[in-house]
Amino acid sequence: MRRRVVVARGAVIVLLLGVSAVFALPTAALALPAGPPAAADARPEPYTFTPGALTVAGTKGTTDAALLDPRHTYRSSLPRNGRLYYRLRLTATDTAYVPVTAVPPADATVSATDGIRVSLRDANGASCFYASARIGAGLSPRPVTALAQREAGKALCQGGGTYYLLVERLDAEGSGAAASAEPWDLEIAPATEPGLTRAAPSTAPRTWDSATPEPLTGTPRDRSGGTGFATARPVGQGIWRTRLTPGETRFYKVPLDWGRQLHASADLRGAPGHGYVGGALNLSLHNPVRGYVDDASLGYTGAPKSATLAPLPPVEYTNRYAVPAGVTSVRFAGAYYLVLHLSTQLAGTFGQGPFEVTLRVRVGGHAQAGPAYAGRPVPDDVFTVTDEDREAALTGNTGGGAGDRVMRLVAVGGIGTGTALLLVLGGWTVAARRAHTRVSAQKPTA
């Protein structure tokens, strides 16, 4: 019987060490460190696809094209100079959005005009809409996203039925400038938007505050971004700092209610070295269905430099009737994605880094009620901003299980690691003493 007490005490020690490690880890997580300096041979983290995404193969023709369902996100692959078809079934009243993110291999050689083109076509092959996305002046392999769409109520492609998504690889317009013949991975995330219960104005707002506000000042907070749309790190108004290595892409998301207005810029800190790198840092903005809104890039000589997005209107349903892409794409509430990419070209002139990047986010305007939809969008939360989203934008919490909830209680309650450990140790000590008392009571008396 004596051994039971020894085992219990040993378990207390082992558990104490385990809990000490558990409580030590979230302390660092709450500080959100940027991580150690990158090694000379460090490689950027790969793009993170949506967990549970379904794998689908595109086809060279429409006859046997695979069906895409807006309730799912898909993974696919696009060969060099490839043209692939996918199939959708659309109702007459829903507006369809099909964003395609192409991910070149990290070591691919790319030109500024490499990229993808996407289009939606009706059953007769008529194009409803097309868009393209290219690597750009940074000459650095990075995820690029283009959005195909079919808008209900427009002159082209009306009615329910079968439609086709065509994805094409752009390779410097066929010049063969890209040395790598490896396929590019694709992420396809279709979504649909229902019509309205009653007719709305069909003209874009004529006036809105287009002045560029003074940049935010203050002490930045460390917040590393995610490595894909699915893992984008939430941010709200504030100054956010991260550290990027050449070739790295980071994703953030800003919850915007109807009526709110976003301003954003990114600062690249100075670094030793001499030379010039075009498109050294790229800042791009995408709407809740990953559609392109705006982007800005900067050339770099080693001196601090900023890239600032153009002024954007408040989020309004009627923005869709405008002409400029920076207005028409700010058409619904939800998560707006800020994407940072640091060009691989920096490494040769300014070293492997990491380079400090500061993201400044300002959210203006006033929240207001949205339009009265006649149905539910798919996915059903794509145009929704919740209280949890607003909280996450401040805390950086991306959601999680019991461990996140425990640490939130510890942080909010002001209970330090030492206090928590004392509470745990005290509880285990009482339990051990009770066990010892029970064992003593069971011993035979002389």
CATH at residue 105: 2.60.120.380
Q: Which of 143, 164, 188 is the last residue of a domain?
A: 188
Q: Model's pTM, two decimal places?
A: 0.81
Looking at the structure, tell me whether residues 117 and 20 fall in a common domain.
no
How many domains are there within the chain?
Answer: 2
Q: Residue with structure tokens 């492609």? A: 157
Looking at the structure, tell me whether residues 20 and 92 fall in a common domain.
no
Looking at the structure, tell me whether residues 89 and 178 fall in a common domain.
yes
First to last CA, the chain: 17
Amino acid 206: pLDDT: 83
Q: Residue with structure tokens 């590393």? A: 224
Amino acid 243: pLDDT: 97
Looking at the structure, tell me whether residues 17 and 111 fall in a common domain.
no
Looking at the structure, tell me whether residues 79 and 163 fall in a common domain.
yes
Looking at the structure, tell me whether residues 100 and 10 fall in a common domain.
no
Return all residues near 307 (Cβ < 8 A) that are at least 6 apart: 265, 266, 268, 281, 282, 283, 296, 297, 298
Q: CB 76: neighbour CB atoms within 10 A?
A: 23
Decide: 297 and 137 in contact? Cβ < 8 Å: yes
Looking at the structure, tell me whether residues 9 and 70 fall in a common domain.
no
Decide: 146 and 131 in contact? Cβ < 8 Å: yes
118-147 pLDDT per residue, tens: 999 999 998 999 999 999 999 999 999 999
Q: Which of 164, 188, 212 is the last residue of a domain?
A: 188
Decide: 71 and 191 in contact? Cβ < 8 Å: no
Q: Is residue 38 part of a domain?
A: no
In Å, how far from its chain's centre is CA 249? 10
CA distances from 159 to 49, 89, 122, 155, 195 (A): 32, 11, 10, 11, 13
| Longest alpha-carbon distance in the chain | 100
Hey, is 240 helix, strand or coil? strand
Decide: 307 and 281 in contact? Cβ < 8 Å: yes
Decide: 134 and 113 in contact? Cβ < 8 Å: yes
Looking at the structure, tell me whether residues 162 and 97 fall in a common domain.
yes
Nearest CA among 38, 124, 100, 95 for reference residue 354: 38
Q: CB 112: neighbour CB atoms within 10 A?
A: 15
* Spans of the chain, pLDDT less than 50: 1-40, 175-179, 400-446
Amino acid 118: pLDDT: 97
Peptide bond preceding 379 in cis form (omega within 30 of 0): yes
- The boundaries of the domain holding residue 77 are 53-188
Q: Is residue 79 part of a domain?
A: yes
Decide: 205 and 323 in contact? Cβ < 8 Å: no
Looking at the structure, tell me whether residues 24 and 58 fall in a common domain.
no
**Strand extents, DSSP E, 344-444:** 355-365
Nearest CA among 81, 104, 73 for reference residue 185: 104
Nearest CA among 283, 34, 290 for reference residue 149: 290
What's the CA gap between 30 and 395, in Å, rounded?
9
The H-assigned helical ranges of 257-372 are 325-328, 346-350
